[in-house]
Amino acid sequence: MPRISKRIIATLQPTEKDYIVWDDQVAGFALRVWPSGRMSYVVHYRTNGRFRRYTIGHHGPWTADKARDEAIRILARVKDGGDPNVERGEERSCPTVSQFSRTFVERHVNTHLKPTTQAEYKRAIDLFIMKKIGNRKMGALTHSDVVAFHHAYRHIPYQANRTLGVLSKMFSLAILWGVRKDNVNPCRGVKRYKELKRERYLTAEEHQRLGQALDDARSTMPEAVNALQLLLLTGCRLREIQRLKWEYVHLDEGVIRLPDTKSGARMVQLGESAIDLLGGIPRVEGNPYVITGRKDGGHLTDLEKPWRRIRKEAGLDDVRIHDLRHSFASDALELGEDLIMIGKLLGHRDLKSTARYAHLKKEPIQRAVKGIDLKISSALAATKLAPSSAID
């Protein structure tokens, strides 16, 4: 049994039947020569009392030395109780990311997530995950692969982080459903990019300019103006107003009862201005929505286009629709409301979501600092004025 080498391989000739040339250095490692002249590197081993053969690869793409090193690794796995043929079968049957994503969407996304979240997940899968790693096997992706995937979208850090979250959920379920055999989520430990939270709040003067622009636009786009005024007066999310139905509105009680929001069912308290606004919106027969759209029975779907026109007229080009919700919270803080109350007004699920507004509460903090300053300075002054004790 010679050591399989390039020189030995050059002397081998095909015969009518395939034959094996064994290596003298690694027991079980061999070269199989086929009648066609094709040659394959193989490794033989025993597992559970059975003799098995595992094909490493064809000569050409594989060199003798490279195949020998691979044979050593395979035999080490066998010694640890593994079976490379079974593992290869599992790897071949393992779905690609693209194939698994269809199962993921059907069994999890469409079943357990809300429509808006479904859309976000599907967008991340279609535009980002499929584009980069759709053809990779779910069982073969490593932590390094995921780091590289995340890094590829570093120019859009917010989207990169959201997509990584979707991919992590896919792998968690792949483990739960028995697709990822090693029980490893390769997304775990990948460092997210820092996201700079944008903060924009309307001043009293900007509110006045916006109010004038809304009044000027009412005759040409009444539905959009009604929607924007409700956003300003309630602090609701855009979709909550766009999809607001008359059956949710209870003007006699001064509330809106939303059956399903981002944080679950919630009740929105209305002020007098909001009640007057809703009371003045005409109801369209056959249309259940407060903010009606162009299609019969539908709601207004695009508020961005009219908003761009209105904010330009008001000189507020840098203000987004969502900033109206931020301004609602900012105004509440200026009036002295605490974070717990602000969270209830905004429909936050937990205090963490509301805590981002804490730094805006400047006046109470300033009052507290001034009070503490006065107390300490007074105490210090009293110490200086106190008479010295007599010395005998």
Residues 6+ apart with CB under 8 A from 62: 41, 56, 70
Distance of alpha carbon 63 from the chain centroid = 44
Total number of domains constituting the chain: 3
Same domain, 260 and 339: yes
148: in domain: yes
DSSP 127: I
186: in domain: no
331: in domain: yes
Rounded (to 5) percent helix, strand, coil in the chain: 50, 10, 35
Say yes or no to pLDDT of 377 above 90.
no
More confident residue, 94 or 349: 94
More confident residue, 325 or 16: 16
DSSP 356: G
Say yes or no to pLDDT of 243 above 80.
yes
384: in domain: no
Cα(167)–Cα(315) distance, integer angstroms: 41
Report the chain's mean pLDDT, rounded to a whole number.
85
Sheet containing 50-58: order of strands: 19-22, 29-33, 39-47, 50-58
Distance of alpha carbon 300 from the chain centroid = 27
187: in domain: no
More confident residue, 347 or 36: 36
What CATH number does residue 30 fall under? 3.30.160.390
* Domain range enclosing 158: 97-176
Contact indicator for 199, 154 with CB cutoff of 8 Å? no
Same domain, 211 and 338: yes
Same domain, 80 and 116: no
Cα(181)–Cα(166) distance, integer angstroms: 20
Local confidence band at 306 (pLDDT 50, 70, 90 cut-offs): very high
pTM score of the predicted model: 0.56
Distance of alpha carbon 123 from the chain centroid = 11
Same domain, 224 and 302: yes
Contact indicator for 184, 145 with CB cutoff of 8 Å? no
Same domain, 79 and 105: no
Among 47, 76, 93, the domain-final residue is 93
191: in domain: no
Same domain, 159 and 233: no
Same domain, 85 and 107: no
184: in domain: no
Same domain, 168 and 229: no
Range of weakest confidence among 152-161, 299-308, 355-364: 355-364
Local confidence band at 323 (pLDDT 50, 70, 90 cut-offs): confident
> What confidence score (pLDDT) does residue 261 get?
80
